[in-house]
Amino acid sequence: MSQDDPLFHPFQLGPLTLPNRVVMAPLTRARAGEPGDFPHAMNAAYYRQRAGMGLIISEATQVSPQGKGYAFTPGIHSDEQVAGWREVTDAVHQAGGRMHLQLWHVGRISRPELQPHGDTPVAPSAIKPNAQTFISAESGMVDVLEPRALAADELPGVVEQFRAGAENAKRAGFDGVEIHAANGYLLDQFLRSGSNQRTDAYGGSPENRVRLTMMVVEAVKEVWETERVGIRISPTGSFNDMGDDDPMTTYRVLAEQLQATGIGYVEMVEDSFQCNHAKGRPESVIDAVRGAYTGPYIANGGYTPEEARQRIDAGRCDLVSFGRPAIANPDLPERLRHGWPLNDWDSSTFYDGDEGGYTDYPFYQ
């Protein structure tokens, strides 16, 4: 590519100088050590291979046992997990990389088999989604059940789970954190009218539905300097049976409040294999968010490298996060820089397993 390739203009993300604008999206790979949901040497090798990314955002990581929704996913709520993640961040930093941890609570996308004491998973409202998860290596995908609606006096405890996860991420050596408020998980469930039918201070109007997410943002900011805190949203996504009556208004309200906090960045799922063109004229919703939030903006949308360059050039985003290409190409930035061909990904090895389809994708050179 030309020396003026927009993907390779450095970018200042708060205190981090990113050498390129190629971000590794948060990608669940379901390869944590068990029992205990802890990262280990194989995970460290996987992330170290990808240290050339401008920024790595970790796979979604549960902030508490209640936040777990899939087998073999990692947590950030025990000393063993913190030690495992420290092994990962040390490997990434030794290779010259930068890495944020994504803080995750799945809410209703879980099963009693994955919950402490076999508890019923929690949600803003007791609405059973048309969604599935996996509870063991043998289970295959199984339907989730009707969740239990959280009482208002439980919500400060949920906020505390995120704050504690943020503290543990700091102990584990990350450069920052990303709050997961996308893709049908707990904060997204509170944000959107299709999953939030509460009549208290956390439901009804957009201002009420964004309340819990903003409480989490403020709590995490008490742990990390604001510029090191990001958030992921998916305003028009339908994955995990999600929808909103008026995503433009809902997410404009959220974006206005995020703008007021000075949050470090917003990563937005603009379109993907998760059907995010299903409802709400995505470009209009993107424009509503971008009109209200003017800070660093990461676009995620299954974009080709050329589409990513065009969106950066047009001022539609500052950085682009790549998912499946980052799985299949540990040296993705160098391939994009030189125009080298990309490896194809093998979707059958995305979740659960060993090194196959994880650390064994070849580098170009």
Residue whose tokens read 């956390």: 202
- Cross-strand bridge partners of residue 169: none
**Separation of first and last alpha carbons in the chain:** 17
* Cβ 84 vs Cβ 78: under 8 Å: no
Distances (CA, A) of 45 to 48, 298, 365: 5, 25, 18
Distances (CA, A) of 180 to 61, 143, 223, 268, 325: 9, 22, 17, 11, 21
Q: Where are the alpha helices (DSSP H) in the chain?
A: 41-49, 79-94, 155-171, 186-191, 206-209, 211-221, 247-261, 282-292, 305-313, 324-328, 332-338
- CA dist 11 and 1 (Å) reads 19
Question: Helix or strand or coil: residue 237?
Answer: coil
Pull the structure tokens for residue 338.
């030189």
Neighbours of 301 (CB within 10 A): 21
* Cβ 36 vs Cβ 82: under 8 Å: no
47 given a catalytic annotation: no
- CA dist 27 and 166 (Å) reads 19
Question: Helix or strand or coil: residue 89?
Answer: helix
Of 46, 47, 185, 358, the active-site residue reads: 185
Task: List the one residue out of 179, 160, 165, 175 whose CA is nearest residue 82.
Answer: 165
Active site residues: 185
